[in-house]
Amino acid sequence: MGLSAGAKDNRAVEARADVLTFTTAPLSEDVEAVGPVRVRLYARSANPNVDYFARLCDVDARGRSINVCDGIVRLREPGDVRTVEIALWPMAHRFKRGHRIRLQVSSGAHPRFGRNPGTGQPLATGRDLRASDHEIFHDRQHPSALWLPLTPGAS
């Protein structure tokens, strides 16, 4: 919603040190996906008051990374390695042959979503900010993953 809504090139955001990206190899054929998208992260932060944001992008042959859908979840409970489920907006998109599919992961997306000061204080009145370091795990015990709703016949 808003005047700045819509598809944008995400390369500048993805170059930041606080944004993690996962990118496929160039696709050998068109890939269609229609429906709900979800991401599961295994994440650790010393701060119990954190956000996790995920964005799915279509990367063209020139490297432009265009947002397709995204979602965010806010956590307020302490924990060691937490399982984080993020529901992204449903999508209907064709990733063209030669393009790549990219997933961005970060701990927020202001101003797209309201900032999280990391303190647990009320969002409207809190003044203090608390930085957070995060770890995202992707191994046999912690299989962070993206689920895409591929259309029938997709490989």
Along the 155 residues of the chain, how does pLDDT read in single tens digits?
A: 555 677 889 999 999 999 999 999 999 999 999 999 999 999 999 888 899 999 999 999 999 999 999 999 998 887 789 999 999 999 999 999 999 999 999 988 777 777 887 888 887 888 888 888 889 999 999 999 999 999 986 55
- DSSP per residue over 18-86, as a string? T-EEEEPPPPSS-EEEEEEEEEEEEEEES-SSEEEEEEEEEE-TT--EEEEEEEEEEE-S--SEEEEEE
CATH annotation of 11-115+132-147: 2.60.120.260
Rounded CA-CA distance 65/50 in Å is: 26
Residue (of 39, 43, 133, 129) closest to 80 by Cα position: 43
Q: Is 149 helix (H, G, I), strand (E, B) or coil?
A: coil
35 torsion bin: left (phi>0), alpha (psi -120 to 50), beta (else) = left
Tokens 């947002």 sit on residue: 67
